[in-house]
Structure 1
Amino acid sequence: MTFKELTLIEPILKALDEKGYAIPTPIQQEAILPALRNRDILGLAQTGTGKTAAFALPIIQQLYLDKSHGKRREIKALILTPTRELAIQIDDSLREYTTYTGIRHTVIYGGVKQQAQVSALKNGVDILVATPGRLLDLINQRYVSLHAIRHFVLDEADRMLDMGFIHDIKRLLPLLPREKQTLFFSATMPSSITSLSRSILHDPVRVEVDPTSSVVDTIEQYIYFVEKPEKKDLLIDLLKKDKCKSVLVFSRTKHGADKIAQSLSKVGIGSEAIHGNKSQNARQRALTNFKSHETRVLIATDIAARGIDIDQLDMVINYDLPDVAETYVHRIGRTGRAGNSGTALTFCAPDERSMLKDIQKLTGRVLPVAN
């Protein structure tokens, strides 16, 4: 199947072709057609499955084909996302997809001064990407009105819950028009998210991508059984032996991420850490350096890593095992994308054996021990 077979219009097809997007991913194949028909979508998919295009392309097409397109600049589509990094990533994707459509978009998020964001809003936008806190702030200041919204995307709903944004979302929902299309995406569906989805979706089309089949099988995975105090030396040894261009290391805690970055810097391995205690500018600078290969190793916590979308990421290292098995799949899914090979290494201390057992049960495979 091609994007043309999904009945996308020429301006979108031209932009996709120039960027090398040729074959729709499974979630794009399943979601785009019903979304083009203005159906609500319940999407179960993780970062890296192509879900941004799955919800963005139908919205862009519907706005472009609307007879009032370009005549009155009101916010007609709202994409709500939990983190600044993911918001920026989605806005970057919109910039690619809307190249030949004339549709305007902008992104707003906290942690930076609002002046530039307010100026963009005053110039008029069709699609707004936002994090909940800054959106509520600008609504309260009357810089944002949601009365004209026709399409509402709630992205990474489970992460919204994890980060404590559920109350902000419940404050925002009554501000949206009753008649609208809602596209709801979440990597997991705990009971609270299931309840939320039922309250805001109308007869949705359910689209599900199994992460264990779509991601795990395409990545080489190995495990190292190691005592906790020895993890640092093992990481340094592996990074010195393997000259991978880009390595993403996951730490369970913010303090741990900083300690790992300090240890690597001491031995001359270029690295930076990103987590919630870093300023927005510091986090964005670290991401930019990593994507441009100026920084070889990026150490991240799970929340900070949301929104990291790099086509050619050579390796993911789980320095600490995650508490939730699904998070392992989300982590390693950041490598091995776009037809490239990828490797995932996991360090397992004795007190992490139960977490490893949960991961192997979820993925249906026993991780091979590295030589």
Structure 2
Amino acid sequence: MTFEQLQLIPPILKALAKENYTQPTPIQEQAIPPVLAGRDLFGCAQTGTGKTAAFLLPIIQRLSAQQGRPNGKRVIRSLILTPTRELAIQISDNFKAYGSFSNLRSAVIVGGVSQKPQEEALQRGIDVLIATPGRLIDLINQGFADLRHVQIFVLDEADRMLDMGFIHDMRRVIAKLPVKRQTLFFSATMPPEITSLVDSLLTNPIKIEVTPVSSTAERIKQTVYFVDKPNKLALLIDLLQDKSIVSALVFTRTKHGADRVVRGLVKAKITAQAIHGDKSQNARQAALANFKSGATRLLVATDIAARGIDIDELSHVINYNLPNISETYVHRIGRTGRAGLSGVAISFCEQEEIPYLKDIEKLIKQKIPVVQDHPYPMAVPAAVAAPVQPAAKENSAARDGSAKKSGRRRWRRGSSHPNKQ
């Protein structure tokens, strides 16, 4: 199928051609026609499936077809609500690209930067608003943002919204929207809370599920290293002597952990920068720009800060800490091996993270090969770490994937809750 067959208007086709996009992805094929028809839609799709274009293209087309207001003042006709600043900026960049031959005007509303330019953009008038919940509520309360004319509402990365504790902010924003509207709802996972939200917000929606969260790209090579916590940094530095690791996104559990890893890497003369919630928006954007340009070899990030980072030619993802939510592992490694390229996902596993590994292996329905031959082996080898078959260094063993739910519960009860990233 081509974009022409999706009945998109010439200005959008011209913009897509300029971006060298010729064929829609599966979620775009399935989502664009019903959204163009005005239907509510629920899309379950993980990072990298093309869901941003799946809602932006029909939004641009539907709004372009309408006449402007008689007094010439633009009003917000579409609101796209997203959990992080990086993702909001990425969506905005995509909107500018896809809508480059339209007459639509957009603005981004995020925290961490001065709100003055955002106030001015709203006062000038815009058609499409892309926002994170906190700053949007501030500007609504101050009288700068008026959502009474919104026709199309997009809730993106809904599961991450819940993880970050935005449920009440989301409901405050939704209460300001017209009851009669089109709602497009996207989530990478389907916990019960998401099902409840879908039922409460959408009317007779079209439901699309693309690339289930349990699947991992076959072209991504996965390995795990059993290593004691104090030796993780030394192991990372040792692995980075391999020049084939051109660029790597390194995931830590906490923002303080990210800073510690960066300090250790810089001391070892390896270029690295951190990106997390304590960094200013300008610092985060600068770190991302340096990483994309190749000036920085490693970007060390927490899961929340990394949401929305989209890098086509990322060679490696390294899990310095295994995530305690199994689905997060799939999202992490899915950031490599994109656009038809191969990728490598390396994970470090300390004793306390073994239950997380078991849960991950159960979710992805495969055992992750264990690298036994490395300079920092675990002092007390895990009982489940016996090799399943002789193999080369990179594929020496795997673990039994029987899952325990205790590991998944810890984030709810322990001190390292994802919201604190």
Separation in 1, partners of 2:240, 2:13: 41
Any conservation in 1 of the 2:215–2:364 contact (CA below 8 Å)? no
Separation in 1, partners of 2:316, 2:13: 32
User: Shift of the alpha carbon at 1:215?
Assistant: 4.3
User: Shift of the alpha carbon at 1:90?
Assistant: 0.5
Q: What is the match of residue 23 of structure 1?
A: 23
Q: What is the match of residue 39 of structure 1?
A: 39
- How big is each residue's C-alpha offset from its partner over 1:218-254, in whole Å with a ceiling of 9 and x where there is no partner? 3111122222222111111111213433210000111
Q: What is the match of residue 333 of structure 1?
A: 334
Separation in 2, partners of 1:269, 1:56: 39
Q: What is the match of residue 232 of structure 1?
A: 233
- How big is each residue's C-alpha offset from its partner over 1:88-125, in whole Å with a ceiling of 9 and x where there is no partner? 11101101000101111110111111111111112211
Q: What is the match of residue 62 of structure 1?
A: 62
The DSSP-based 3-state class of the residue aligned with 1:217 is: coil
Any conservation in 1 of the 2:214–2:327 contact (CA below 8 Å)? no
Q: What is the match of residue 305 of structure 2?
A: 304
Separation in 2, partners of 1:352, 1:136: 38
User: Shift of the alpha carbon at 1:69?
Assistant: 7.8
Letter in 2 for 1:274: I
- How big is each residue's C-alpha offset from its partner over 1:157-183, in whole Å with a ceiling of 9 and x where there is no partner? 111111111111111112111111000
State how 1:280-291 maps to structure 2 within 5 Å: 280-291=281-292
Separation in 1, partners of 2:185, 2:334: 21
Separation in 1, partners of 2:234, 2:189: 34
Any conservation in 1 of the 2:258–2:274 contact (CA below 8 Å)? yes
Any conservation in 2 of the 1:216–1:329 contact (CA below 8 Å)? no
Q: Please, what is the CA RMSD of the aligned residues?
A: 1.5
Q: What is the match of residue 79 of structure 1?
A: 80
User: Shift of the alpha carbon at 1:292?
Assistant: 1.4
Q: What is the match of residue 416 of structure 2?
A: none
Q: Which of 163-172 and 205-214 deviates more?
A: 205-214
User: Shift of the alpha carbon at 1:67?
Assistant: 3.1
Separation in 1, partners of 2:85, 2:270: 27
User: Shift of the alpha carbon at 1:317?
Assistant: 0.4
Runs of 5+ unmatched residues, structure 2: 372-392, 394-421
User: Shift of the alpha carbon at 1:213?
Assistant: 7.2
Separation in 2, partners of 1:110, 1:187: 24
Letter in 2 for 1:134: R
Separation in 1, partners of 2:110, 2:191: 26
List 4+ stretches of structure 1 deviating above 6 A. none
State how 1:1-371 maps to structure 2 within 5 Å: 1-68=1-68, 71-212=72-213, 215-370=216-371, 371=393
Letter in 2 for 1:11: P
Q: Which of 216-225 and 269-278 deviates more?
A: 216-225
Q: Which of 162-171 and 148-157 deviates more?
A: 162-171
User: Shift of the alpha carbon at 1:214?
Assistant: 6.2
Any conservation in 2 of the 1:274–1:300 contact (CA below 8 Å)? yes
- How big is each residue's C-alpha offset from its partner over 1:313-334, in whole Å with a ceiling of 9 and x where there is no partner? 1110011100011000000111
Letter in 2 for 1:117: Q
User: Shift of the alpha carbon at 1:342?
Assistant: 1.1
Separation in 1, partners of 2:225, 2:2: 41
Separation in 2, partners of 1:4, 1:359: 40
Question: What TM-score results when the alignment is normalised by the length of structure 1?
Answer: 0.96
Q: Which of 235-244 and 93-102 deviates more?
A: 235-244
Any conservation in 1 of the 2:313–2:336 contact (CA below 8 Å)? yes
Q: 1:191 to 1:275 in 2, by over 3 A?
A: same
Separation in 1, partners of 2:233, 2:134: 37
User: Shift of the alpha carbon at 1:72?
Assistant: 4.4
Instruction: Select the structure with the greater relative contact order (CA < 8 A; seq sep ≥ 6).
Output: 1
Q: What is the match of residue 377 of structure 2?
A: none
Any conservation in 2 of the 1:85–1:308 contact (CA below 8 Å)? yes
Question: What TM-score results when the alignment is normalised by the length of structure 2?
Answer: 0.85
Separation in 1, partners of 2:213, 2:193: 23
Instruction: Tell which structure's C-alpha radius of gyration is larger.
Output: 2
- How big is each residue's C-alpha offset from its partner over 1:292-326, in whole Å with a ceiling of 9 and x where there is no partner? 11111000011110010111111100111000110
Any conservation in 1 of the 2:216–2:364 contact (CA below 8 Å)? no
User: Shift of the alpha carbon at 1:364?
Assistant: 1.4
Separation in 1, partners of 2:210, 2:184: 15
The DSSP-based 3-state class of the residue aligned with 2:270 is: coil
The DSSP-based 3-state class of the residue aligned with 1:260 is: helix
The DSSP-based 3-state class of the residue aligned with 1:240 is: coil
- How big is each residue's C-alpha offset from its partner over 1:179-212, in whole Å with a ceiling of 9 and x where there is no partner? 1100011111222221112111000111112245
User: Shift of the alpha carbon at 1:43?
Assistant: 1.0
The DSSP-based 3-state class of the residue aligned with 1:216 is: coil
Any conservation in 2 of the 1:216–1:363 contact (CA below 8 Å)? no
